[in-house]
Amino acid sequence: MSIVASLSSLASGHATTPLTLLAKSEFKPWLQQQPAAKDWLEASHYSGTGTALIPQPQGGCLALYVCESLDDPFACGELSASLPATDYVLTEDASAERLLNIAFGWGVGAYRFTRYKENSKPQARLLLDDAGLVDKANQQIDAINLVRDLVNTPAQDMMPAQLSEVTRSLAEEFGGRFEEIVGDDLLTQNYPMIHAVGRASVHSPRLLDVRWGNPDSPAVTLVGKGVCFDSGGLNLKPGNYMRQMKKDMGGAAHVLGLARMIMSSGLDIHLRVLIPAVENAVSGNAFRPGDILPTRKGLTVEIDNTDAEGRLVLCDALAEAESEHPELMIDFATLTGACRVALGTELPGFFCNDRSVARALSDAGEAAAEPVWQLPLHKTYFEFMKSEIADLVNGASSPYGGAITAALYLQAFVENTPWVHFDIMAWNLRKLPGRPVGGEAMGVRAVFQYLNERYS
């Protein structure tokens, strides 16, 4: 990990480099008090933003980094790679909130996915004295990096059985209880949709189930779409759309990352995590367009398109979650391209059936510097999800408002429970500070901020 707990963890005689972190508004006042630094920076044509190394009279260098705002959790996201690979200590006092942002950004920026390609290049480390703050930062860093690792892992090594192993391990680490329903047992225990979507794969479909916390505490249930690879089924995806479908279990990765954050912080809730884990494959027993399939709730669904499978596995999991009447249900899913068209790939969209929850969640996103955007559950669009011969169809009759119609389909399986549905990309298409190209957690910190405010 790129953050260590205290100066005492350094080896004897190991030198450290002082590091000054400044927002742009703080740079000029600081510079007026540093005449030697001012002369050096002017001579080296420093632009007033980014990093600089300033020689010190006593030897060594002062590292300087100026950014727009240190209140941005990702402001320091490039420092572990852009600074020379040594250990750094901060020269300026900062509030606990700012220090947490600095530590978090530094830590997530140091992320590397090295399962298949070694990268042993040294990185800069940040040393902090406050072990409690470091632990708090690492709780978030570990959760974000868990999401990234899961999404980045190719389907060959992240099928339902492997996702089950990760989920079981996480539950055991924090003293939770893990159960799963596998293969044909999904039929006997009335999860017909999860079975139908996953039955064509040699990798048996599963429902993963974790419980953690005091049963007398407020109940919160997380549901994550765990389609470990999505070929599109018989409505086979074109190659360019299939290329990154290892990330179609991004919803499952998100709820596991969020669960890690919740459990490691000891939040006073009774947590349940449900993950329908399947591969949407093609074989002789694959479900077909035109089939009418039952659901756990008892509604029947006419299959319009086998590539709209995420909502099918989610509906059984949501029906099970609803049966226990938790205080709150939240699902994450890489569900629709329509949401990406509406909001782009970097802004998580969410739907919610409770105005007070939606407002508080939006506010929490702003507080966590992770904006999330509410989209409407526009009821009249539900007409597009009706079938002449079944209760529902899984593909809307209109090509417009696809994220909304998908959310309305899911809402049919949620009755009275406050519910949030996140439609996410789970993938960075471009490199940003602290956010490399590849798997990414989106909305997790916003939701944790909301849960922490509500249940602390």
- Whether residue 15 is predicted with pLDDT greater than 70 in this model: the reply is no
Considering the candidates 98, 112, 211, 237, report the single residue annotated as catalytic: 237
Q: Helix 131-152 vs helix 250-265: angle between axes, to the nearest 10 degrees? A: 160
Angstrom distance (rounded) from CA 420 to CA 86? 44
Contacts of 431 (CB under 8 A, 6+ apart): 437
Structure tokens at 296: 């756990």
Q: What is the mean pLDDT of residues 326-334?
A: 98
Closest by alpha carbon to 364, among 229, 278, 285, 258?
A: 258
Give me the domains of the chain, ranges plus CATH numbers: 3-129 (3.40.220.10), 140-455 (3.40.630.10)
* pLDDT, tens digit, 9 for 90 and up, residues 213-250: 999 999 999 999 999 999 999 999 999 999 999 999 99
Active site residue 168: no
pLDDT attached to residue 9: 29
Catalytic annotation, pick one of 206, 225, 272, 311: 311
Check the CA dihedral 241-245-248-253 and report its sign: negative
DSSP string for residues in 339-406: HHHHH-SSS-EEEES-HHHHHHHHHHHHHTT---EE----GGGGGGG--SSSSEESS-SSSS-HHHHH
Evaluate if residue 1 carries a pLDDT over 80: no
- Quick one: 400 exposed, middle or buried, by C-beta within 10 A (0-12, 13-18, 19+)? exposed
> Which residues are 226's β-sheet partners?
277
Residue partners of 248: CB distance under 8 A and separation at least 6: 225, 227, 228, 229, 230, 280, 310, 334
**Average of per-residue pLDDT values in the chain:** 94
pLDDT attached to residue 2: 36
Q: How many CB atoms lie within 10 A of CB 354?
A: 14
Partners of 332 in beta bridges: 224, 422
Cβ neighbours of residue 125 closer than 8 Å, sequence gap 6 or more? 2, 3, 4, 80, 86, 87, 88
pLDDT of residue 76: 96
| Residue 400 pLDDT > 70 | yes
- Pairwise pLDDT comparison (363 vs 415), residue with the higher score: 363
Mean pLDDT to the nearest integer, 130-140: 92
Distance CA 319, CA 326 (A): 12
- pLDDT at position 366: 97
Residue 36 confidence (pLDDT) = 86
User: CA-based angle 146:150:156, to the nearest 5?
Assistant: 155
CA distances to 81, 110, 119, 146, 253 from 105, in Å:
12, 9, 20, 16, 20
User: What is the tens place of the pLDDT at every residue in 277-288?
Assistant: 999 999 999 999
pLDDT exceeds 60 at position 332: yes
Binned at pLDDT 50, 70 and 90, residue 93 comes out as: confident
pLDDT at 8 over 60: no
Residue 98 among the catalytic residues: no
For residue 383, pLDDT over 60 is answered with yes
pLDDT for 217 equals: 98
Dihedral, 438, 351, 452, 228 alpha carbons, nearest 10:
-40
Position 10 scores a pLDDT of 27
